[in-house]
Amino acid sequence: MKKIITIIGARPQIIKSSAISRAIRNHYSNQLEEIIVHTGQHYDENMSKVFFEEMEIPQPKYNLQVGSGNHGEQTAKMIEGIEKIILTENPDALLVYGDTNSTVAGALAASKLHVPVVHVEAGLRSFQKRMPEEINRIMCDHVSTLLFTPTEIGLKNLEKEGFSLLPAEHSTIDHPQVFHCGDVMYDNSLYFSSVSDEKATVLQNQDWKSNYALITIHRDHNTDQKENLNAIFKAFSQLLDETDLHFVFPVHPRTKKKMAELLNQVTLEQIQQHARFHFIEPVGFLDMIALEKNAKIVLTDSGGVQKESYFFQKPCVIFREETEWLEIVENGNATLVGAHFDRIISETKRLLSKTDYTHPNFYGDGKAAEFICTCILDKM
């Protein structure tokens, strides 16, 4: 029996982790023991607890309750807590997802204690080191022993950074191994799509349910810079005038806070009072899938939501200048608009009227989680 510690903390990691926990439960429970550590980076009920319940994620054995804070403070508390748990549990490997502060904390704590790091969603790059996530990903990849890339582009990025793509019997931190396995979120979207059809409630009795755009925003570049936040909201106001769409916006807690601090009061009031603009609380994953599946278009700066738009064949306007999921932009399903008022409006209208969308399979076969479990068992 191999023992792995899985680190989760932020909403997208909790959601991602469900795929591997499910694979372990269904296929590897006599070979792999998973101990879940929640750093507490996200803690509101609708940013954390809701997912454990509806996605059948095992309860964490440890919750570090680190909470919010500046990067150094938050990451340091996590490293301290994770280090203690590693010393107590003595795992064979530590698994981290994505690119948050919880990811880099897990990777640093484990690698210094000579515990092999497994990085799921390795190799993604924005080539913007001003993004905290870019620093977290690069640091994590370069202390990992097994790296699982969700896309071809991720694989090529790692090759360019000097990782060998040759197969090996055994992997170590000095001889890491890279696998292109597809995206665990594709596994999850396939698995939970029909569950959402049965159980989601968010669209019930809503007059907007067949004519809306779905919005999410939370990147610091958009929320914390007054000019960008205001440009985006002014564009929403204009789009309300120029289309008959409703706009549905589950608001991330960071964004809620920053809207109150930085948004022009007149713009905010105009939008709040508009009959076709709907601010809602963050929703669970089953409701989120329903919102994605039934939207006319998705407007977002979220990494996960960009891809889910693609899984559910919806066009996507991305409030960023670059993306780690470049394939959906190159294929014409998504478009990069930054926080530019004019581009947000023109590109939203362009994607709404475009009809020649294609959806090649960029994200694997829906069995990335099983593949990862097999590699953990075989290669370390």
Integer-rounded Cα radius of gyration of the chain: 20
Q: What are phi and psi of 149, to 5 degrees?
A: -95, 140
Identified binder of ligand UD1 from the candidate list 68, 90, 210, 272, rule CB under 6 A: 68
* Residue 15 contacts ligand UDP per CB under 6 A: yes
115/288 with CB nearer ligand UDP: 288
**Contacted entry of ligand UD1, ligand UDP, none for residue 216, CB cut-off 5 to 8 Å set by kind:** ligand UDP
* Residue 10 contacts ligand UD1 per CB under 6 A: yes
370 in Cβ contact with 27 (< 8 Å): yes
Q: How many CA atoms lie within 13 A of 306 on its CB side?
A: 23
Cα 139 from Cα 101, distance rounded (Å) = 11
**Contacted entry of ligand UD1, ligand UDP, none for residue 379, CB cut-off 5 to 8 Å set by kind:** none
DSSP 205: T
Cα 276 from Cα 243, distance rounded (Å) = 10
Query: Which tokens in the block code for residue 134?
Result: 């870019």
* Residue 9 contacts ligand UDP per CB under 6 A: no
Say how many residues touch ligand UD1, by CB under 6 A: 18
3-class secondary-structure state, position 319: coil
Strand-pair partners of 298: 214, 316
Identified binder of ligand UDP from the candidate list 54, 141, 187, 308, rule CB under 6 A: 308
- Torsion, CA 6, CA 34, CA 88, CA 50, rounded to 10: 60
Does 252 qualify as catalytic in the annotation? no
Cα 61 from Cα 136, distance rounded (Å) = 25
Within its chain, how far is the Cα of 126 from the centroid? 14
Question: Which of 42, 218, 246, 252 does the annotation list as catalytic?
Answer: 218
- Residue 282-301 contact track with ligand UDP, rule CB under 6 A, x = bound: xxxx--x-------------
Interface with ligand UD1 in residues 236-275 (CB under 6 A): 253-254, 257
CB of 135 to ligand UD1, least distance (A): 9
3-class secondary-structure state, position 107: helix
**Contacted entry of ligand UDP, ligand UD1, none for residue 308, CB cut-off 5 to 8 Å set by kind:** ligand UDP
Say how many residues touch ligand UDP, by CB under 6 A: 16
CB of 13 to ligand UD1, least distance (A): 8
Q: Which of 262, 317, 276, 327 is nearest to 123 (CA)?
A: 327
Identified binder of ligand UD1 from the candidate list 4, 5, 6, 12, rule CB under 6 A: 12
Query: Which tokens in the block code for residue 350?
Result: 């362009």
Interface with ligand UD1 in residues 161-220 (CB under 6 A): 218
* Residue 250 contacts ligand UDP per CB under 6 A: yes
34 in Cβ contact with 28 (< 8 Å): no
Binding residues (CB under 6 A) for ligand UDP: these are: 11-12, 15, 216, 218, 250, 282-285, 288, 302-305, 308
Binding residues (CB under 6 A) for ligand UD1: these are: 10-12, 41-44, 47, 68, 99-101, 132-133, 218, 253-254, 257
Catalytic residues: 218
